[in-house]
């Protein structure tokens, strides 16, 4: 019974997943020149209107915590776009049993998927220098996406995505 509880806990922890992030940036950029931001005017996030608003609020919170001010005449623009795709089963655990006896052999094997199929969401955050109109920094986040998540869970998850994405912005 104790082993079953441990197995269930491990499955639950693996089901939550973490936000993975990849960043890239212009190495020669003078990051100290940036103090203000705004969002790209023609942004098409690919999210529902509600999730887009939650994500924009989360980005505003994170950038404000990092010392940036929103402005009508910003130093940089933030553009966000996303896509969702099916995540195939990651791996499986196999249990098997077999035997032989007097020239007769047999075996049984059962595979139990550890990570079931599901949805992954990739959200890309672009930071664009407003005066040069060039991409200077980018973060691409990938996380598991639950369509059935309630609004509070969605808000918390999108805040976590924004925090993780901008954790290395500006680069040092």
CA distances (Å), origin 79, targets 19, 46, 61, 172:
19, 12, 16, 21
Range of the domain at 44: 20-95+106-168
Token pair, residue 59, equals 């980005």
Mean pLDDT of 132-153: 92
Q: What is the tens place of the pLDDT at every residue in 77-100? A: 999 999 988 866 555 555 555 555
Average pLDDT of every residue of the chain: 83
pLDDT in tens, 19-64: 999 999 999 999 999 999 999 999 999 999 999 999 999 999 999 9
Backbone angles phi, psi at 61, to 5 degrees: -60, -50
Other residues' Cβ atoms within 10 Å of the Cβ of residue 27: 6
Q: How many domains does the chain have?
A: 1
Q: Considering the domain boundaries, does residue 81 fall inside one?
A: yes
135 pLDDT more than 70: yes
Is the dihedral angle over the CA atoms 149, 150, 155, 159 positive or is it negative?
Answer: negative
Task: Please report whether residue 12 resides in a domain.
Answer: no
For a pLDDT cut of 70, what percent of the chain falls above it?
72
Q: Is residue 8 part of a domain?
A: no
Does any domain span residue 5? no
The pLDDT > 90 percentage for the chain reads 63
Neighbour order of strands in the sheet with 118-129? 20-25, 134-145, 118-129, 76-87, 36-39, 69-70
CATH number at residue 90: 3.30.160.670
């Amino acid at each position: 019974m104790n082993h079953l509880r441990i197995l269930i806990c491990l499955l639950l922890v693996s089901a939550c997943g973490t936000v993975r992030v990849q960043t890239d940036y212009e190495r020669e950029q003078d990051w100290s020149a940036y103090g203000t931001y705004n969002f790209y005017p023609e942004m098409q996030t690919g999210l529902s209107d509600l999730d887009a608003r939650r994500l924009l609020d989360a980005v505003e919170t994170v950038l404000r915590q990092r010392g940036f001010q929103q402005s009508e005449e910003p130093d940089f623009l933030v553009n966000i776009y996303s896509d969702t795709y099916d995540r195939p089963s990651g791996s499986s655990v196999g249990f098997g049993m077999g035997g032989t006896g007097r020239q007769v052999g047999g075996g049984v094997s059962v595979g139990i998927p550890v990570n079931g199929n599901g949805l992954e969401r990739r959200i890309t955050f672009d930071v664009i220098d407003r005066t040069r109109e060039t991409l200077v920094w980018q973060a691409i986040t990938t996380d598991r996406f639950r369509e059935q998540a309630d609004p509070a869970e969605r808000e918390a998850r999108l805040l976590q995505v924004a925090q993780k994405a901008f954790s290395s912005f500006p680069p040092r």
